Amino acid sequence: MAAPVTRRLGALALVAALAAPAVATAQPAPPPCPPAPQATSAAPDRSGVTFELGLGLAMVRHDKIEGPNETSYGAAGPGVTVGYFATRDLTLGVRFTAAVSSADVVAYLGPSLQYWIGDQIFVGGGVGGSFGDGATSWGADARIGHAFHVGRGDAFYVAAEVNGGTYPVFEADGGGSIIGFGVQIGWQSL
């Protein structure tokens, strides 16, 4: 009597094992997993009018035609730019920047280009008026910066900047060239 029950249970187990894949395929498929959330791009919106302000420390070097050369230390800035994004990466503007020490002052005022290389690095420069040690001449400004915080509408940066000019003897104390080297921390609206 135990043998027929065991055979029946064995046969039932065999039928169940063979029928299980057919029953499993007859079940509806589970719903697909929702797609992974896409990372939202916080790319800066560099367009329209831009404004920039920076302050920092400077070294002023006065290489005189007559008399001893001087190196002095002081403040860099204010560095102020008002401009317009001609493209997403290029701004055209007007810049004022200065390096001021106890011995000399050199400042730049003139047109300025700024080009963003990616979202965090920029270079800039211009040729315009230079004011140093009581004299006015032509001058140049050049800088490179790294934005350590970039939002959609603004950026905070650190930049190295050099500006200067050459002055005749009769216009300035000793004449020659005055060059300001500065490191500024600044903010720019994008």
| Range 59-64 average pLDDT | 88
Q: Are 126 and 95 in contact (CB under 8 A)?
A: yes
Mean pLDDT of the chain: 84
Predicted confidence (pLDDT) per residue in 149-187, tens digit: 999 899 999 999 999 988 775 455 566 888 999 999 999
Most confident of 24-33, 99-108, 112-121: 112-121
Domains in the chain: how many in total?
1
Domain assignment of residue 151, yes or no: yes
Domain that holds residue 111: 48-189
Query: In angstroms, rounded to a whole number, what is the distance separating the alpha carbons of residues 164 and 152?
Result: 34
Radius of gyration for the chain, computed over Cα atoms and rounded to the nearest angstrom: 35
pLDDT value at 2 more than 70: no
Query: In angstroms, rounded to a whole number, what is the distance separating the alpha carbons of residues 69 and 174?
Result: 9
3-state helix, strand, coil in the chain (%, to 5): 15, 60, 25
Most confident of 14-18, 34-38, 170-174, 179-183: 179-183
Which CATH number does the domain housing residue 98 bear?
Answer: 2.40.160.20
Domain assignment of residue 87, yes or no: yes
Predicted confidence (pLDDT) per residue in 118-141, tens digit: 999 999 999 999 988 778 889 999
SS3 33: coil
Query: In angstroms, rounded to a whole number, what is the distance separating the alpha carbons of residues 165 and 126?
Result: 12
Domain assignment of residue 24, yes or no: no
Domain assignment of residue 1, yes or no: no
